[in-house]
């Protein structure tokens, strides 16, 4: 029933570090509803990215950052398991610098929001760069068809599968962040309500008067969309490589099947030939023992039978191979 968070004032100074607040007191102090706190549930491993606009605050839950933005303060929630993460440390430093600086003329809440979006997009780009290098190298190893069978060992195929899963998850994460920004951009009332400093000064914006924040969100929306598009292109290359690998494996499997079938036909022919030996080798009188031409005649008949069985089976195999499924 408690929230652990760090508070920053309008000058970027830390008011409270890792302070614990009851959810009921927190909601009452910041004019929130208890259901609003679902957005920043700090004990969930993953939640859908959300930007929730309320009359006196903006709740942001994107990637590794969960924060509450007001016209004169920022509350950064300590996400369970990532309190000392590198990305959060860089974000806090950048946030304090932006809150202190007023050169760009942006309201306090928009400077804080921009710091969050910069941290999120930078984190996405860094993660994509980390994935892109090994994936391109792996695809380069599997690209040459002449050497692909030598390159297709268990380790490379396992790496291909693992990187495909990682890219798929990364693309979904990037698209979910893009969708969160798009949801706000499509709602004029929410965009106008994000001007918390103006509302605090008694100035309320019309629903269509939100050009400043719209341009801010649109810029990072495009960046996120570009990152997701790069990940999608990389995944398409991986799928193409997977299809080529699967095709070569199918060809190899078919070659092994043909070899096995031909070996079976040869074995069948040899069995037919050996049948004559078994027949005439029994301890029965057949009156061929003293005939000078019996051995050659029987041997020739046995070989002709074996060759005939081989030819018939091979012709049937070729006929079946020509039949299209």
The arithmetic mean of pLDDT across residues 143-157, rounded, is 58
Tokens 């040459």: give the residue: 144
Tokens of 290: 């003293």
pLDDT digits (tens, 9 = 90+) for 278-290: 777 666 566 666 7
Residue 52 backbone zone (phi > 0: left; psi -120 to 50: alpha; other: beta) = beta
**Are both 256 and 293 inside the same structural domain?**
yes
What does the pLDDT read at residue 214? 92
**Are both 117 and 212 inside the same structural domain?**
yes
Between 183 and 281, residue with greater pLDDT:
183
**Are both 238 and 280 inside the same structural domain?**
no
Where is the domain boundary, 251, 269, 296? Answer: 251
**Are both 122 and 204 inside the same structural domain?**
yes
**Are both 118 and 189 inside the same structural domain?**
yes
Q: 154-163, 182-191, 227-236: which has the minimum mean pLDDT?
A: 154-163
Indicate the pLDDT class of residue 262, thresholds 50, 70 and 90.
confident
Asked whether 115 and 98 are in contact (CB, 8 A), the reply is: yes
Does residue 146 register a pLDDT over 50?
no
> Phi then psi for 88, rounded to 5 degrees?
-70, -35
**Are both 16 and 165 inside the same structural domain?**
yes
Where is the domain boundary, 206, 227, 251? Answer: 251
Q: Domain total for the chain?
A: 2
Question: What's the order of all strands across the beta sheet hosting 14-22?
Answer: 14-22, 2-9, 73-77, 65-69, 57-62, 50-54
Q: Is residue 325 part of a domain?
A: no
CA angle 59, 63, 68 (to 5 degrees): 20
Does residue 151 register a pLDDT over 70?
no
DSSP classification of residue 293: T
The range of the structural domain enclosing residue 312 comes to 252-320
How buried is 294 (Cβ within 10 angstroms: 0-12 exposed, 13-18 middle, 19+ buried)?
middle
**Are both 201 and 299 inside the same structural domain?**
no
The arithmetic mean of pLDDT across residues 104-117, rounded, is 88
**Are both 256 and 185 inside the same structural domain?**
no
Q: Is the dihedral of CA 130, 134, 135, 140 positive or negative?
A: positive
Q: Is residue 306 part of a domain?
A: yes
């Amino acid at each position: 029933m408690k929230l652990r968070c760090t508070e920053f004032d309008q000058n970027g100074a830390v008011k409270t570090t890792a302070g614990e607040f009851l959810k009921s007191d927190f909601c009452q102090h910041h004019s929130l509803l208890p259901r609003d706190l679902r957005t920043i549930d700090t004990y969930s491993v993953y939640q859908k990215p959300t930007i929730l606009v309320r009359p006196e605050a903006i709740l942001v839950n994107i990637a590794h950052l969960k924060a509450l933005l007001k016209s004169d303060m920022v509350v950064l929630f300590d996400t369970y398991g990532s309190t000392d993460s590198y990305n959060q440390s860089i974000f806090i430093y950048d946030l304090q610098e932006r809150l202190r600086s007023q050169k760009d003329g942006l309201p306090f809440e928009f400077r804080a929001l921009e710091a969050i979006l910069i941290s999120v997009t930078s984190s996405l780009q860094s993660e994509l760069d980390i994935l892109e290098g090994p994936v391109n190298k792996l695809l380069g190893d599997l690209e040459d068809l002449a050497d692909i069978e030598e390159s297709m060992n268990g380790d490379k195929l396992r790496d291909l599968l693992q990187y495909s899963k990682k890219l798929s998850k990364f693309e979904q994460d990037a698209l979910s962040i893009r969708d969160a920004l798009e949801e706000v951009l499509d709602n004029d009332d929410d965009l106008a309500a994000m001007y918390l400093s103006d509302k605090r000064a008694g100035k309320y914006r019309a629903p269509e008067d939100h050009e400043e924040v719209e341009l801010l969100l649109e810029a990072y929306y495009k960046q996120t969309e570009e990152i997701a598009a790069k990940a999608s292109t990389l995944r398409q290359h991986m799928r193409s490589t997977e299809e080529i690998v699967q095709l070569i494996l199918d060809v190899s499997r078919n070659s092994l099947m043909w070899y096995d079938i031909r070996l079976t036909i040869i074995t069948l022919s040899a069995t037919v030939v050996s049948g004559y030996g078994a027949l005439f080798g029994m301890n029965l009188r057949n009156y061929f023992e003293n005939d000078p031409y019996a051995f050659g005649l029987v041997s020739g008949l046995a070989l002709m039978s074996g060759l005939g069985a081989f030819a018939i089976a091979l012709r049937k195999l070729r006929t079946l191979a020509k039949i299209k499924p």
